[in-house]
């Protein structure tokens, strides 16, 4: 999510005194987040078999909407409209090749052999949100595309491995940045992970770059997304006229992976696993 938008969409969240933007979820709320997270992960798994040359992003969207309804959930993205944005028209986000994030499903967007596509899903179940994404390979992709996708997933997991009580938000971003840049890729800085729970986005921001030992200290009950976006070339972005679609300025490839995680007394729990 764009950093500036997060600041404007966060509402009155019952934040602990002295920690603006911080929401700690109860054990009951975490159980609801686990259910929503598992549902989101299962939705991605369900869509995976459809990721084939010749399939439109609209077909992926329509099947996701049908599946969510059949499982008692709704899409948090459909109709979502932060300040200065028109309502989002997709039940999922579908971002192909140079599209960094927030790609809008469209019947004219047809997957081709060699594409990569990030599918980002956020079902709302019993008032709580599960948020996860994965970049899929379409047919036979280039060695560069495969390396980018693998590095993006690995960087996310390295960031998640830093999460534990007493660690700092900067530790997450530093681990991601160190790994990504060592692999020859750039880290998108204008989009960040975010707090999540009863609202899809809360003010808490999780950059995917940074310095170890910096930022807010992590506490049990914090729930947020880790969702690095790595680019083949420059990290500079371009926003299209629809005010949603974000692409790489140099039109080179971008990949993203995302999990929703909870800080626990023991360390970290990934909530968006099947």
10-64 confidence digits (pLDDT tens): 322 233 444 565 889 999 999 999 999 999 999 999 999 999 999 999 999 999 9
Question: At the top level of CATH, which class does the domain 27-270 belong to?
Answer: alpha beta
Please give the model's pTM, rounded to 2 decimal places.
0.93
Average pLDDT over residues 110-114: 98
194 is in an annotated binding site: yes
Query: For residues 202 and 221, what is the distance between their CA atoms, to the nearest angstrom?
Result: 14
Confirm whether residue 102 is marked as ligand binding: yes
* Residue 66 CB partners (closer than 8 Å, separation 6+): none
> If you average pLDDT over residues 146-165, what whole number do you get?
98
Mean pLDDT of 216-237: 98
Helices 169-182 & 143-161 angle (0-180, nearest 10): 160
Q: What mean pLDDT, rounded, does the chain reach?
A: 93
d(CA 65, CA 63): 5
Count Cα atoms within 13 angstroms, Cβ side, for 144: 11
- Sorted by where each begins, the domain ranges of the chain are 27-270
HEC sequence for 22-34: CCECCHHHHHHHH
62 is in an annotated binding site: no
184-204: average pLDDT: 96
- In sequence order, the β-bridge partners of residue 110 are 56
Of residues 8 and 218, which shows the higher confidence score?
Answer: 218
Q: Above pLDDT 70, what percent of the chain?
A: 92
Best CA proximity match to 179, nearest among 209, 207, 206, 205? 209
Pairing label, strands 116-121, 259-263: unpaired
**Residue 201 is assigned to a ligand binding site:** yes
Any binding-site annotation on 258? yes
Q: Is the pLDDT of residue 163 over 80?
A: yes
The answer to whether 19 is annotated as binding is no
Please, which pLDDT band fits residue 2 given cuts at 50, 70 and 90? low
**DSSP count for the chain of H helices, then E strands:** 5, 17
């Amino acid at each position: 999510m764009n950093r500036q938008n997060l600041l404007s969409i966060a509402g009155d969240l019952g934040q602990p005194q002295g920690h603006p933007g911080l929401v700690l979820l109860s054990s009951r709320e975490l159980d609801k987040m686990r259910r929503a997270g598992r549902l989101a992960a299962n939705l991605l798994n369900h869509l995976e078999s459809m990721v084939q040359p010749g399939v439109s992003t609209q077909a992926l969207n329509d099947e996701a909407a049908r599946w969510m309804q059949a499982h008692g959930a709704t899409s948090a993205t459909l109709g979502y409209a932060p300040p200065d944005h028109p309502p989002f028209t997709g039940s999922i986000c579908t971002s192909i090749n140079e599209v960094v994030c927030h790609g809008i499903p469209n019947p004219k967007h047809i997957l081709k052999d060699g594409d990569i596509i990030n599918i980002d899903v956020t079902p709302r179940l019993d008032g709580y949100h599960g948020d996860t994404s994965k970049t899929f390979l379409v047919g036979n992709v280039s060695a560069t595309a495969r390396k980018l996708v693998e590095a993006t997933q690995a960087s996310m997991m390295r960031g998640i491995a830093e999460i534990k009580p007493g660690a700092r938000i900067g530790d997450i971003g530093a681990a991601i940045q160190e790994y990504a840049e060592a692999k020859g890729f750039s880290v998108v800085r204008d989009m960040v992970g975010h707090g999540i729970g009863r609202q899809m986005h809360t003010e808490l921001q999780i950059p995917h770059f940074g310095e170890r030992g910096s930022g807010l200290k992590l506490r049990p009950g914090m729930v947020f997304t880790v969702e690095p976006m790595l680019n083949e070339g420059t990290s500079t972005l371009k926003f299209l006229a629809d005010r949603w679609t974000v692409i790489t300025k140099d039109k080179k490839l971008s990949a993203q992976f995302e999990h929703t995680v909870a800080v626990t007394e023991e360390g970290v729990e990934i909530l968006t696993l099947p």
